[in-house]
Structure 1
């Protein structure tokens, strides 16, 4: 297959088709020498340039940067620029190699091809690489505490015995990484195994920006990734009456309202648990989420339907009664160390669906409510694919259009329970007229 010229980015690289046999190169239209080598099974970032001495061309070399699954196009382009700058100076980017062409080029340039640096002795260890990645990348970019904790758990628990191991050793012996992936798969499951390897891959790529002696091939790219299937745990309209009955039977009224708001908003549980009282603007009927998944730059407002406003009013009343001190700050207060609801899990026999199940349910029922996929993405703060994303001003749609769509979803959910709010005693004591006032009265008198 003949070589092609395209603008290399994550999308275009992902769309490159493998040849039936052999390989071809997709050359970047912006950065001369930067390209992707596309084989039948792999795609590899690389640079190509001419080594010169005293103005004369010594050799044409091609240097691998890394597998496309191990780094983004932006990272590969930055590395390519660095490599091309070295080549322009007559220096070979690879610190050591056994490639005959490269060895010949080094000899012609007057470089001792047998010279080898003892990079292992001063190579950065996994512990230092992780701490640098955590502080300079995760914390500085405003990633949520839950995201940082997930990365920390992978590195400090699953790779605990590797913390003082130089990354150079892992890079030169990817068999260690393959064996660890297999071990984690057996002991903890395929999803955690894949997730831990993604973390290791990210830490290694970040470390290599400052430690160019590390090999370009990421050791995590050697693993055979476990198959992952999206878990389908959403409820349909017919499942909601039973779910409402289960929620109504929960003894803690704040947890009841939390699960209901999770369903009505489709929000990630952590975002709601960490919501503060001043994030709620009842005049504009929005709940501000300042640090969702993705960090502060993804902050957004959730438009509130009538049912969501009533839910929040109830939880504020209950919070002020049961946790008066914590309720001054948190929307979902509790007696936890943080002062807010810290655990949203329920026993499955007590409540069949919670957490991400409700997020999937929201997305499913949005279709039943006639809400478009585009609007559902905006309501859930999902990224909008394609070039149109940069032209969307979400806040301009918030006050009217998105709130109308939110109201349609809430109406669909509550219509599914029909007359249960009046006919079912527990649901009626939760959602019926003046139910919260009666509940607070019973709580005050200890009934």
Structure 2
């Protein structure tokens, strides 16, 4: 086996390393024992090779490990790296895998943790969109790259552009992911950079939301929806006409819609805090669904499909910043739910009926054991609320109320 001082000049010299037509030739460095350059027909690669004792046979055997290709590694870098690799091989320690990236931990977190569909949607809505430039960072560089200044600056940027709720929620998600990385890879990360937000008391203090459309704002809201895509416009309006949670609106599937009998079912994976429930359709909401059905493509699963290639879900998403930007109102998608409930109360309708229509669980003795209302029983109540919402959106405050017949009344 030839020996050669592995320098760039010698490696590039055809005199010292002639071209190889067949097979491979190993050149051992004269300065660092165990460092070698394997030369093939089209490549030159640095390795380390040492003889170690095989405890099972009592004999020595050669063990080799790749450093990297010449060109990607300089001789000086290979010579500096070789001693630690040689020591590890002699000690019989396994090869250390490179540290995973933050993106890899994020993807593993979603797989390993038992998260609800809604929580997974939350993570997927925040992490790739708001932390895209951080995802390719390997874990061993997180603490160095995500300095307190960098973390605080990103938090403030999200708070200013997406709202304090988005800032809190997105960094809580990121913090949970990095906490998981600390457990799995303590050799690469020992401190969660996002905890600076707690030490500096940066978390936004959020009061309970009470945003709701005032009577004079319904027409402003309706007119502003013309700036949205037809799918977004229909989804926002459908959510308002039923007072449902935003996720119940945009995740609605065609298999849960019965246009023939005028019903829709809103499903939940877990029944702990939210129940799956079926509601009647009003004249207005049926018109929306019929319009969506006519626009649906073959095999389309969701009533309100995703808009644009950047959306990673199969359905669109209703976001507070999007709604505020289009309408100019301080209104969240959940505020549409409050607007429906408040409209029903202004009409002096029974709160129990409104709660039933909006999927609120009635934990009273009467609600749990005696009340056996059906969706058809609540159809007149829903229609009354929708008529009032329609009136306010079309005519505004002060217009005359015209009660339109429901489908059930026409039969």
Q: How does the TM-score come out when normalised to structure 1?
A: 0.47
Deviation readout 1:41-83 (Å, 9 max, x if unpaired): xxxxxxxxxxxxxxxxxxxxxxxxxxxxxxxxxxxxxxxxxxx
**Residue matched to 1:342:** 316
Q: Are the structure 2 counterparts of residues 374 and 232 from structure 1 closer, same or farther at C-alpha, using a change threshold of 3 Å? A: same
Q: Could you tell me which of 282, 291, 294 is aligned with 1:318?
A: 291
**Residue matched to 1:48:** none
**Residue matched to 1:280:** 257
Uncovered stretches (5+) of structure 1, i.e. residues with no partner: 1-119, 435-447
**Residue matched to 2:59:** none
Q: Secondary structure at the match of 2:241?
A: helix
Structure 2: distance between partners of 1:193 and 1:419: 34
Deviation readout 1:207-227 (Å, 9 max, x if unpaired): 455457799985534422333
Deviation readout 1:112-138 (Å, 9 max, x if unpaired): xxxxxxxx9987763443232122126
Structure 2: distance between partners of 1:233 and 1:364: 11
**Residue matched to 1:301:** 276
**Residue matched to 1:233:** 211
Structure 2: distance between partners of 1:146 and 1:137: 14
Q: Could you tell me which of 300, 303, 322 is aligned with 1:331?
A: 303
Mark the structure with the bigger radius of gyration.
Answer: 2
RMSD: 5.5
**Residue matched to 1:148:** 123
Q: Are the structure 2 counterparts of residues 210 and 165 from structure 1 closer, same or farther at C-alpha, using a change threshold of 3 Å? A: closer
**Residue matched to 2:388:** 415
CA contact 2:155–2:171 (8 Å) conserved in 1: no
CA contact 2:155–2:167 (8 Å) conserved in 1: yes
1:182 is aligned to 2:156: no
Q: Are the structure 2 counterparts of residues 433 and 286 from structure 1 closer, same or farther at C-alpha, using a change threshold of 3 Å? A: closer
Alpha-carbon shift at residue 194 of structure 1 (Å): 2.8
CA contact 2:222–2:393 (8 Å) conserved in 1: no
Alpha-carbon shift at residue 235 of structure 1 (Å): 0.7
Q: Could you tell me which of 106, 113, 135 is aligned with 2:111?
A: 135
Q: Are the structure 2 counterparts of residues 200 and 406 from structure 1 closer, same or farther at C-alpha, using a change threshold of 3 Å? A: farther
CA contact 1:257–1:312 (8 Å) conserved in 2: no
1:166 is aligned to 2:124: no
Q: How does the TM-score come out when normalised to structure 2?
A: 0.50
Alpha-carbon shift at residue 255 of structure 1 (Å): 5.5
**Residue matched to 1:260:** 237
Uncovered stretches (5+) of structure 2, i.e. residues with no partner: 1-95, 407-411
